[in-house]
Amino acid sequence: MYKAIIFDVYGTIFDMESLKNDMDQFNEVEAKSISQLWRKTQLEHMFLRQVMQRYIPFDELTKESLRYVLDVHEIQYNREDVNQLFDAFLDLDYFKEIPKVLSELNAKNLEIGVLSNANDNMLMPLVDNSEINKYIDTVISVNEIKQYKPSPASYALILKYYQMTREDILFVSSNAWDVSGAANFGFDTVWVNRSKSYFDYNGQSPTMTVNNLNEMVKWLEMNKR
């Protein structure tokens, strides 16, 4: 039986589709296009900065990505516009099953943590100040070591906070690259495949694939190893 369940944040607990909801200045089509390219660019910058060994905190990286996205959309902007749009990242909606699922995991005496590439400026408003924070023991940011997921060093941070062996940890993410990274480090993993996609195999497969987190709770109950 696992002792701790560690969740990814963006896309796993919080719905990235809600990023477009705080963009009233754009029409629906434009807001969707901006939010999707923003997330895609943010991920690319993250991986590339890790490869180039040029870490910058996630809030800065997120704003840098946004400027490119606004350029591509031929939208004029100043610093204030960027800061105002950035706030959309601090006000995402969690998936509706999350409070129930975390509460059920708490009841099983499992530790619950999150590991995110975001820094505290972004995690505090989103996680710490949200109503689901009461279910979460530990909020871990890679900013502590300045190495982004999916680097091995980022997942090693979990073992620093939890005095456990790798076998005690279950890592949960909707992002195939994050599942690959955690599995590569040696954790069992759950891939939350909400959009019924194909897993983008890159050397590692998830221990378990589920369509939502309720299914994960059921799987845990069936597999009390």
- Helices in the chain by DSSP H: which ranges? 28-52, 58-72, 79-86, 98-107, 120-123, 152-161, 176-185, 213-222
CA distance 108 to 91: 29
Phi, psi for residue 80 in degrees, rounded to 5: -65, -40
Q: How far is residue 25's CA from residue 84's CA, in Å, rounded to a whole number?
A: 11
CA 146, CA 57: separation in Å to the nearest integer?
Answer: 8
Give exposure, 88-100, as e/b (b: 16+ Cβ within 10 Å): bbbebebbeebee
Of the residues 8, 15, 22, 188, only one is catalytic, namely: 8
- Tell me the window of 12-20, 66-74, 109-117, 217-225 that interacts with its own copies (CB under 8 A): 66-74
Return the range that interacts with its own copies (CB under 8 A); candidates 8-16, 53-61, 79-87, 107-115: 53-61
From candidates 29, 52, 107, 222, binder to its own copies by CB under 8 A: 52
Our finding on whether 11 is near its own copies (CB under 8 A) is no
Beta carbons within 10 angstroms of residue 9's beta carbon: 21
Applying CB under 8 A, among 3, 30, 56, 138 the residue interacting with its own copies is: 56
Q: Could you say whether residue 58 binds its own copies (CB under 8 A)?
A: no
Q: Is 59 a catalytic residue?
A: no
Question: If binding is defined by CB under 8 A, does position 107 make contact with its own copies?
Answer: no
Residue number with CB closer to its own copies (17 or 64):
64
Q: How far is the CB of 189 from its own copies (least distance, A)?
A: 13
Q: How far apart are CA 189 and CA 205, in angstroms?
A: 8
Q: How far apart are CA 18 and CA 32, in angstroms?
A: 9
The torsion of the CA quartet 218, 97, 13, 150, rounded to 10 degrees, works out to 20
The residue range among 6-14, 28-36, 123-131, 178-186 that interacts with its own copies, by the rule CB under 8 A, is 178-186
**Residue 207 C-beta: closest distance to its own copies, Å:** 17
Segment contacting its own copies (CB under 8 A): 3-11, 49-57, 82-90, 130-138?
49-57
- The residue (of 47 and 135) whose beta carbon lies closer to its own copies is 47
Give the three-class secondary structure for 164.
Answer: coil
Among 180, 187, 192, 210, contact with its own copies (rule: CB under 8 A)? 180
Query: Residue 163: is it exposed, middle or buried by C-beta count within 10 angstroms (0-12/13-18/19+)?
Result: exposed
Minimum distance from CB of 79 to its own copies (Å)?
Answer: 15
- Residues near its own copies (CB under 8 A) are 41, 44-45, 47-54, 56, 64, 67-68, 71-72, 148, 150-152, 177, 180-181, 184, 197-198, 200-203
Q: Which residues are catalytic?
A: 8
